[in-house]
Structure 1
Amino acid sequence: MIKLHTMNKLIIHFSIFTLILGLVAFAHPIHLSVCEMNFNKESKSLEIAQKVFFDDLEDGVELIGGPKLNLFTEKEHPDSDLWLNRYFNQHLKVQINGKPKELIWVGRETDAKQDIQALWVYMEIPGIKKVKELTIENTILYDVHHDQRNMLHLTCNDTKKSWLFDFEKNTETIQW
């Protein structure tokens, strides 16, 4: 009988622990973005695709002095793309062969059927003949969430490399 009583206590404690853990996880969501960078030898450009939650991105734009964007709504700000490009150029810095490069806006999209909370932003850096050294500083959404993490997948010069950037480690350099 003592064993049954002890087992019931364990089940109750485990259930309470699971409930508390679930509530904590719900109250503190994971903040993660994903970036893919590919050096295209034919077009001589670094192609960049960044997936990010757009409510966080809207908050980030407001923190740099931008307007409320209301992305993908009837109230969307007419200069949304301009503000998004400005935000990414401030928070995703790329140096190629020791020279800082500006990100050129290509576009953005979301898939309302698959993921209505995130968007893909597309940018590029044209006019690159050869990449000998690449430095990436990724501080996207660090101004919004201190626990933000940014995953980056790079394909360049027949090399595939991935990094996970966080608040303390936000810069990586690779040389060929």
Structure 2
Amino acid sequence: MGWKKWLWIIPGMFILFGGSVLLGWSILQISNQTDAVAANTGTSATQQKEEFSKEVINTPVSEDIIILDNGEKGHDFISEVHAFYDETLTWGRIDTADYEEQKAKAESIIETLTHIHEVKNEELKADLNSITTLAETVVKSDDREAMRKLHRYFHDLDIILHGYNYDETFQITSFRGEN
């Protein structure tokens, strides 16, 4: 081979080598980004709760609007169930949620709501009846849409009852916060 051919071959080899390194680095970056997104899928309920502002910007609803027979505050019950659904259904977990765990929670919801001493608002009473119907659906079958709606009811009621930012609700409830 003559020296003129080497003038073409040597730069071509450098270009090919440089292109390979650049391609390999790009693939590695894409892989790392994919891994980071996958790792974020497993966030905890604490991180998820920070999604909506816990700053009280609206008037919280009086705690005597829901009186449970067992002495528990209705506000606490709503918050506890909302936290459960945040932990088990959000961030794509609804598709893989353990049905038996969801069924047990639905049975617990029904049990609590059948022992309410008093609800001092008709719209809230209607929402609690809708929640009971959805919970009964989950008890009877593995209905992921009913689970999603349960989460949305508890999410909205938690925000409304505690006076958080109403703009961060699904607008699924009849109750809007007035006593």
TM-score higher than 0.5: no
Higher relative contact order (CA 8 A, sep 6+): 2
Q: Which protein has the bigger helix share?
A: 2
Larger radius of gyration: 2
TM range (shorter): 0.3 to 0.5
Structure with more of its chain in strand, by fraction: 1
What is the TM-score normalised by the length of structure 1?
0.35
